[in-house]
């Protein structure tokens, strides 16, 4: 078995959700969950089949994001994974709706950070072992840092 580190390609202001699902209708169900949660959302979605013709299935509301999602899914190359790139929304806006999709088994990452996917390849198939999300900690939060964090959340409208 070989391990490979696959860096997710995205623009700095984009968010990405990577997860595992188990059925071909996942593309339609995740699409419906996303568009019904955030009207006017821009996103691209790609899903890797794990049997049969083993195609990358794609959908979305923005051609550029669909292309990026497809390219990332191909690079990861693991069966039954999906890549969702968000253009004008945050994962917090859609994550619960995606987790409620019956076919979704797991969420590996939901982030705007630099993201690398750890993939195992046994010669016949590939699977996601985990992710490296962002950077390692540089210290412990101070009272001032906590105040700055709370102010940021209020500026974004997530806390009042």
**Per-residue pLDDT tens for 9-30?**
999 999 999 999 998 899 999 9
In this prediction the pTM is: 0.92
Which CATH architecture does the domain made up of 2-156 adopt? 3-Layer(aba) Sandwich (3.40)
> pLDDT at position 160, please?
81
Structure confidence at residue 140 as a pLDDT band (50, 70, 90)? very high
Structure confidence at residue 41 as a pLDDT band (50, 70, 90)? very high
Place of tokens 């979605």: 45
> pLDDT at position 55, please?
96
Structure confidence at residue 56 as a pLDDT band (50, 70, 90)? very high
Cα–Cα distance, 95 to 20 (Å, whole number):
13
- Sheet containing 126-133: order of strands: 2-7, 115-121, 126-133
Q: Is 157 or 50 the better-scoring residue by pLDDT?
A: 50
Q: Where are the alpha helices (DSSP H) in the chain?
A: 26-37, 63-76, 91-99, 143-156
- Helix H, strand E, coil C: the string for 92-130 is HHHHHHHHCCCCEEEEEEEECCCEEEEEEECCCCEEEEE
Mean per-residue pLDDT for 89-109? 97
Mean per-residue pLDDT for 100-127? 97
Q: Any idea what DSSP says for residue 39?
A: T
Mean per-residue pLDDT for 52-79? 97
Q: What are the domain boundaries of the chain? A: 2-156
């Amino acid at each position: 078995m070989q391990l490979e580190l696959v860096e997710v390609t995205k623009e700095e202001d984009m968010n990405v959700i990577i997860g595992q699902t188990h059925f071909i209708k996942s593309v339609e169900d995740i699409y419906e969950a996303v568009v019904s949660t955030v009207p006017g959302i821009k996103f691209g979605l790609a899903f890797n089949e794990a049997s049969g013709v083993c195609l990358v299935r794609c959908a979305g509301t923005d051609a550029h994001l669909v292309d990026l999602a497809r390219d990332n899914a191909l690079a990861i190359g693991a069966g039954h994974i999906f890549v969702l790139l968000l253009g004008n929304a945050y994962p917090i806006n859609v994550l619960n709706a995606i987790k409620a999709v019956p076919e979704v088994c797991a969420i590996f990452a939901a982030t705007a950070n630099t993201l690398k996917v750890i993939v195992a390849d046994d010669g016949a198939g590939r699977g996601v072992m985990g992710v490296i999300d962002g950077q390692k900690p540089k210290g412990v939060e101070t009272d001032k840092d906590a105040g700055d964090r709370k102010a940021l959340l209020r500026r974004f409208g997530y806390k009042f």
